[in-house]
Amino acid sequence: MSSKDNKGNANDRSRGSAGAASGASGANTSELAAIIEQIRQGLTGDPQHDAPYLQQQIEQHQNHPLAKEIARECGRMLWDVLPEEQRKAFAQTMDKDTANTMATLAQTALLQREGKSKEALQTIEPLAKQMAQSMDKGLFKDDKASRYFDFETPEQELVWRAHNEEKRTIRHATQPFTQVFSAYASCLYDAERFDDAIAALKKALRWNPANADLYLEIGENYKRLGRMPAYERSLDEAYKYIDNPDTLARFHRSKGYLQIDKHEYRIAAAHLVLSLVYQESQMARGELLYLQQKMHRDFTKMQPDEAKDILVKWGESVGAAPETLQALVGAIKWGIDQDVYTATRAAVKLYGLTGDEEVGKMARDLVDALNKMESEK
């Protein structure tokens, strides 16, 4: 299990859009928009007037059915009216907290690499409990206008959207919840506290439900508990969000181990063979040798097309989900105009998942362009 990189900074993430109220639906949308417009009309452009005024509006609407949404919109307007020096002080405070969090994550990872599992758990646990308390208090709580996530990349958000209908505005949490809970779960796994690790991973999923590896890690904990049906459900939940060849290989390896446990050795071999298409693995080859001894058949000679046919016949998932592939195509198109880093990542992932040479050429061209851009800085 590994933690994930957090992108962006507190200053960028603190900014809200003026039209966030448009994310709600039906009558609530109109009512919220009307209230916010009425509040906005009371702004003068003078921070000494507007800051207390907005705080007063929050208090006046605290018993309103849309109190959370109104408070959040007032908070965004408050940011807009803050003088630059106050904005900087606010952002610096948030950046300092983020720096401390990242230092804790780095120290935890170092202790794990050094085999100091107990010390690693002691390092990360207070931070994880603090963040859990923040969640309980409603920090970045969803409302009728917005949903808050901690996606790692733009393409990951697009993959999530491809599998979920969501009309509300998606906003980014300013805290690296996913990293912290994932790192905490890793330490809990090392301590063989598997139920606690599952609970931590589910908290991580709350913030990044498109991270397929989190589902797979939940499955590993269920496997250690001997809860094989739950293990299988976790693998199936992971599948639709798999957006890169390494995770797809891990998925097929895990499916292979599961099928061995079920004594479905031919299906197991097909999964293991297909995993090797996406990533080389001595573990997978070792399992194929085990099956060879068990079944007196050399499954290492099974071709990928034969493996796919076997899995399709038995209703098993093969390759990445079509919706996910289409989301990556969309990420490439968006990224070419908006963000070459996103376009490059998405193209490399798509090529790894499909082997399409046209996509491969595009990926290589994007990598070359990115390298040239970096060298000219």
Distance CA 41, CA 308 (A): 62
Distance CA 292, CA 269 (A): 9
pTM for the model stands at 0.76
Tokens of 294: 């068990």
Note the pLDDT of residue 5.
38
- For residue 79, which of 61, 92, 91 has the smallest C-alpha distance? 91
Distance CA 54, CA 21 (A): 16
Query: 201, 170 in Cβ contact below 8 A?
Result: no
Each residue of 199-254: pLDDT tens digit?
999 999 999 999 999 999 999 999 999 999 999 999 999 999 999 999 999 999 99
Q: Is 169 helix (H, G, I), strand (E, B) or coil?
A: strand
User: Binning pLDDT at 50, 70 and 90, where does residue 171 land?
Assistant: confident
- For residue 243, which of 321, 179, 162, 161 has the smallest C-alpha distance? 321
User: Binning pLDDT at 50, 70 and 90, where does residue 373 land?
Assistant: confident
Q: What Cα–Cα distance (Å) separates residue 265 from each residue in 142, 261, 269, 273, 279?
A: 45, 9, 6, 12, 21
Question: What torsion, rounded to 10 degrees, do the Cα atoms 368, 370, 375, 377 define?
Answer: 160
Distance CA 20, CA 3 (A): 31
Each residue of 186-207: pLDDT tens digit?
999 999 999 999 999 999 999 9
What CATH topology corresponds to 96-150+167-209? Answer: 1.25.40
Higher pLDDT, 8 or 103: 103
| Mean per-residue pLDDT over the chain, rounded | 86
Distance CA 162, CA 143 (A): 21
Note the pLDDT of residue 91.
57
Cβ-based neighbours of 219, under 8 Å, separated by 6 or more: 230, 231, 232, 234, 235, 238, 254
Distance between first and last Cα of the chain: 35
Each residue of 324-359: pLDDT tens digit?
999 999 999 999 998 899 999 999 999 999 999 999
- For residue 207, which of 145, 157, 155 has the smallest C-alpha distance? 157
- For residue 224, which of 189, 186, 260, 182 has the smallest C-alpha distance? 189
